[in-house]
Amino acid sequence: MSDAKEHLKRIRDQFTRQAEAYARMRQATDESAFERLVTFARARSEDRVLDVACGPAFLTMVFAAHCAEAVGFDATDKFLLLAQEEARRRDLGNVTFRHGDAEKLPFGDEEFDLVICRAVFHHLLHPAYVLSEMKRVAKPGGRILVVDMLTSEEPAQAAYHNRIERLCDPSHTRALPKSELMLLFSDLDIEIVDVAESVIDYRSVEEWMDHGGPPHDAAQEILKLMDESIVVDRCGLNVRREAGKLRFTHRLGAFLGRVPS
């Protein structure tokens, strides 16, 4: 099996196992944050929107409420089943779902006004290739929105951070620093028109680990690595103890690009 096929299987296995837990996470269901992304993306009522690797598709459905059509695309069947059930519950007639690999989007060139991808790039073996596919299916002058966690610009901190992420979720490849994400856009001649940063403060490390469901030994190693990053910041995650709980902060970056006309 090729590295790409093996990794895609790893993603499908992980999110099939953890679909319900992921769909319960605050960042997967925070519709106020999603509404802010609709505004940030300059979404218009006439837009046709593609959400790449949509997961449970809560974000897809928020865009559908503002736009002419939204298509949710994901590699995990279980996510798409959950999404279809939720779309029916909301009685949304302008949202559809497709299954497949983000490196091979099954759409023609220049089909969408807006192509979005949230909380996905850190799972990708080839983020530049996925971004090139997003550009391909976007119309001339169309917009591309990528939102993902950010890691430190300092290589040692970034490596420590990514080690923790992989212990929690084996489908994690590498969180990127802000500078590298911006370079992906410029290398593909996608003009960056806006960048915004935000944070997620977890109530505890255990709350965050629920989405990945790591085995006991991996969970203990995560707690150890986090604890060792309190006095000396080894991972750039602002690890601290508050009210007896080990807590940390994820930084998020939102990058809005425009495809050349």
User: Average pLDDT in the 147-162 region?
Assistant: 98
pLDDT at 27: 64
- Decide if 49 contacts 64 (C-beta within 8 A): yes
- pTM for this model (two decimals): 0.94
Which residues fall within 8 angstroms of residue 79, CB to CB, at 6 or more apart? 15, 19, 23, 54, 55, 56, 57
CATH class of 3-151+173-201+249-258: alpha beta
- Predicted local distance difference test score (pLDDT) of residue 97: 98
Domain boundaries, the chain: 3-151+173-201+249-258
Which pLDDT does position 260 carry in this prediction?
Answer: 96
Query: In which band, very low, low, confident or very high, does the pLDDT at 19 lie, cut at 50, 70 and 90?
Result: low
Residue 14 has pLDDT above 80, yes or no: no
Residue 4 has a pLDDT of 82
The separation between CA 29 and the C-alpha centre of its own chain, rounded to angstroms, equals 13
Q: Dump pLDDT digits (tens) for 37-93.
A: 999 999 999 999 999 999 999 999 999 999 999 999 999 999 999 999 999 999 999
CA–CA separation, 19 and 16 (whole Å): 5
Alpha-carbon distance of 226 to 204, in angstroms, equals 11
Q: Which of 58, 117, 112, 68 is nearest to 93 (CA)?
A: 68
Determine whether 187 is exposed, middle or buried from the number of CB atoms within 10 Å of its CB (0-12, 13-18, 19+): exposed
Distance between CA atoms of 45 and 39, rounded to whole angstroms? 12
159, pLDDT greater than 60: yes
Q: Is residue 206 a contact partner of residue 247, using CB atoms and an 8 Å limit? A: no
Identify the band that residue 160 occupies on the pLDDT scale cut at 50, 70 and 90: very high
Question: Which pLDDT score is estimated for 61?
Answer: 96
* pLDDT greater than 80 at residue 201: yes
**116-147: pLDDT as tens digits:** 999 999 999 999 999 999 999 999 999 999 99
pLDDT at position 174 over 70: yes
